[in-house]
Structure 1
Amino acid sequence: MAVFSKILTMLRGDVHSIGQSIVDNNANRIYEQEIVEAKAHVATARQDLTAVMAKEIQAAREIERLQREIGRYETLALEALRKDQAALAGEVAGKVADIEAALAAQTRVRDELAGHIARLKDLIRGAEMVLRDHERELAMAKTTESVYRATATISSSMGSSGSKLMSAKESLERIKQRHQDTADRMQAADALDGEFGDKALERKLAAAGIGAGPDRKADVLSRLQQRAALAAGASGDKPA
C-alpha cells in the first residue's frame, strides 16, 4: 500500500507538472481570454447599470406625478373649505396624506437607485481602467514573445545553416580569386606584348631614330632650311 500511495503521489506530481507546463506555454492566450471574459462582465454590468438608471428615471417621473397630484388635491381641499365643505375637505386631506406617503416612499426608492448608480459607475470606470492596463500589458507581452520567437528562429537558422553560409563564403572567395587570376593574366599579357609584340618593335625603331619620334621636327626644319639655302643660291640672293 505504501508503494501504491507513492506511485499515486508521483502521478499527481506529473499531472501537475504537465498542467503547469501547458499553462506556461499558453500564458498569453489564457491572459487574453481572461481579459475577454472580464470585458464581457463589464459589458453586462453596463447593461445592468442602464436598467437601474431607467428605474431611477421612472421613479423620478412618478415623483413628479405624485407632486402634481398633491398640488391638485390641496387646491381642491382649499376650495372645499371655502365652500364650507369641512367633511369633504377632510376627505381630500386624507387623500393628500396618502399621496404624500407614497411620495416619500418613491423618493426613498429614487435616492437608493441614485446611490446604486453612483457606485456602479465608479466600479465600471475602475474596471475599464484596469482592463486598459491589462490590454497594454498583453500587447507588450505579445510583442516581447514575438521578439523572443524571432530571435530563437534566427539563432536556429544560423545554427542549422552554418555550413551553408560557410560554403557560400568559400564560393565567394573562389570567385574573387578567379577574377584576380584573370586580371593578373591580362597584366602579364600586356608585359609580354611590351617585350615581344608591336610595342617592343616601336620602341626599338624609336631608339634607332627611325620613324616619327621626338627628333622628327628638328629633321624636318633642317631639311627645309637646306632647301631655302639652295633656292637663295640659285637666285643670287643671300639668305638673311
Structure 2
Amino acid sequence: MSTWGKIFTAIRGGINEAAEAAADSQSMRILDQEIRDAEQSLRRARSDLAGIMASNKSVMRRLEENRAKETKDTDSARAAISAGRTDLAQGLAQRIANSRAEVQRDQEELDRLLPRQQQMLRTIQETESRIAQMKREVENVKANESLLRAQSAIAHNQSGINTRLGSAVESLERIKKRQEITAGRIEAGAELAALENGSDLDRQLREAGIGSSSQSADDVLAQLMAPTRSTEPVLLPAPAGNKDR
C-alpha cells in the first residue's frame, strides 16, 4: 500500500472511530428511538392483521350463507322434480351451480388468506416479545449507566478528597517543622542571653549543689520535726566517798 493509501485508510479509520464515539454518546437516545420505531411498525402490523381477520370473517360468513342456500335449493329442486316441475328444477339447478361457484371462489380466497393471517399473528407475537425484551434490556442498561456515572463521580470526588487531604497533611507537617524550628531558635536565644548575663553559671552551680543557701519546704519541715537539743549544762551526781566533806 502506498503512503497516500495508508493516509486515506487512517483518515477513514479516524472518521469511523469518531462516528462510533458519537453513536455511543447517544446510545440511550438511539435505543429509545429504535424501540419507538419498532412499536410504530407493530401497530401498523396489528392494523393490517385486523383487516385480514375481518376480511376472512366476511368470507367465512359468505361461505356459510352460500352453502346454506345450496342446501335449501337442492331440497327445493328435488321437490320440484318430484312434482313434475322440471322448469322450476332447472332454475334451481342454475342457482345451485352459481352458489357452488361462489363457494369455491370464497374457499380459495380463504385458503389463501388464512395462512397469511397465521403468519402475521406469529410475527406480531414474536415482535411483541422482542420489544418487551429490548425494553427490559434498555432499562437495565440505563440503570447500569446511572450506576456507573454515580460510581465514577464518587471515585472522582474520592480522588479529589484524597488529593486535598494529602496536601493538607503535607501543609500540617510543614507547619509542625516550622514551629519546631521557631521553638528551637527561641530556646537557643534564651540560652545565649543567660550566658551573657551570668545566670546560666548560677543555674549550673545550683544544679551541682554548690553555693546554694535556699531551702525547700521539705527541708524546713524536717528540721522542725527533729528532737530539740538543750543548751543548759548537765549536772553529774557526786561520788559516794566525798559525801561528808
Task: Report TM bin, short chain.
Answer: 0.5 to 0.7
Structure 2 residue aligned with 1:82: 82
Cross-structure match for 2:222: none
What are the Cα deviations for residues 68-93 of structure 1, in whole angstroms up to 9, with x where unaligned?
Answer: 32133223322321331224312321
How far apart, in 2, do the equivalents of 1:104 and 1:165 lie? Answer: 90
Residues 5-38 of structure 1: per-residue CA shift (max 9 Å, x gap): 4443332222111001112222232222222212
After superposition, residues 159-238 of structure 1 pair within 5 angstroms as 159-162=159-162
The SS at the match of 1:68 is: helix
Unaligned regions of 5+ residues in structure 2, if any? 170-245
2:43 is the counterpart of 1:43? yes
Structure 1 portions without partners, runs of 5+ = 170-240
Supply the distance in 2 between the matched residues of 1:119 and 1:4 (Cα, whole angstroms): 53
Normalised to the residue count of structure 2, the TM-score between the two structures is 0.60
Distance 1:78 1:152, change over 3 A: same
2:60 matches 1:60? yes
Cα shift readout 1:132-188 (whole Å, capped 9, x = no counterpart)? 11111111111111110001111222333446667999xxxxxxxxxxxxxxxxxxx
**What is the DSSP-based 3-state SS (H/G/I as helix, E as strand, rest coil) of the residue aligned with 2:61?**
helix
Partner of 1:96: 96
What SS does the corresponding residue of 1:84 show, helix, strand or coil? coil
Pairwise CA RMSD: 2.6
Alignment TM-score, normalising by the size of structure 1:
0.62
2 CA distance for matches of 1:28 and 1:43? 23
Shift of 1:49: 0.8
Partner in structure 2 of residue 143 of structure 1: 143
What percentage of residue pairs aligned between the two structures are identical?
A: 25
- Paired AA for residue 21 in structure 2: S
CA distance in 1, matches of 2:165, 2:98: 96
For residues 125-144 of structure 1, what are the structure 2 equivalents within 5 Å? 125-144=125-144
Cα distance in 2 for residues equivalent to 1:74 and 1:93: 8
